[in-house]
Amino acid sequence: MTPALELRRATLNEVLSLRHAELRAGLPLESARFDGDDEPTTRHYGAFLPASGENVCCVSCMRVPREGADAWQVRGMATRGDLVRRGIGHALLSFAVAALRAADGPRLLWCNARTTALDFWEHEGWMVASDVFDIPGVGPHRVMRRIL
C-alpha cells in the first residue's frame, strides 16, 4: 500500500540526506552533491510523509543539453529503501514530469539510469539511448530518454 504523500518542489537540503543514504551510501555526504544542484534553473522534487514531514523519495531536474539539444537531465532519483516498489517513485516522477511539461522549456528528458533500475524507467515510458557504461564508484548505467 502506498502511504499518503505530499508531492512538491523541494530544496536541495530537503533531498540531500535521502539522496546520500540511497545512492551514495558509505561515501562522503559531498558525493551526493551534483554539479548543477545550485543552479537557478534546477528543480528538486520530493515525496514527503505528511505526519512527519520526512522526505521518502526525491528527484532533481537540471538544464543540461543532450546531443546538442536543450534538455532536462533527471538526476538523483531515490526512494527510501523500505518503501520501494510501492508506487512512490512513479508518483513523484509523474509529478515532476507534469511540472516540467507545464513550464516553458525543453521537451527532451534524459538520465543516466542504473542498470538495476532499467525496468522502472522503461515502465515509465523512457527509451534506452546508450550502451552500458560505468560511473566509477557508482556502477553500470545506460542513458535513457523521453520526450515531454
User: Do the Cβ atoms of 76 and 32 come closer than 8 Å?
Assistant: yes
Report the domain count for the chain. Answer: 1
Q: Which domain holds residue 66?
A: 6-109
Q: What is the reported pLDDT for 2?
A: 65
Q: Is the pLDDT of residue 29 over 70?
A: yes
Domain-located, residue 130: no
Domain-located, residue 123: no
Domain-located, residue 124: no
Domain-located, residue 43: yes
Domain-located, residue 55: yes
Please give the model's pTM, rounded to 2 decimal places: 0.93
User: Could you read off the pLDDT of 49-102 as tens digits, one per residue?
Assistant: 999 999 999 999 999 999 999 999 999 999 999 999 999 999 999 999 999 999
Domain-located, residue 117: no
Task: Provide the grid cell at 104.
Answer: 516553458
- The CATH number of the domain holding residue 35 is 3.40.630.30
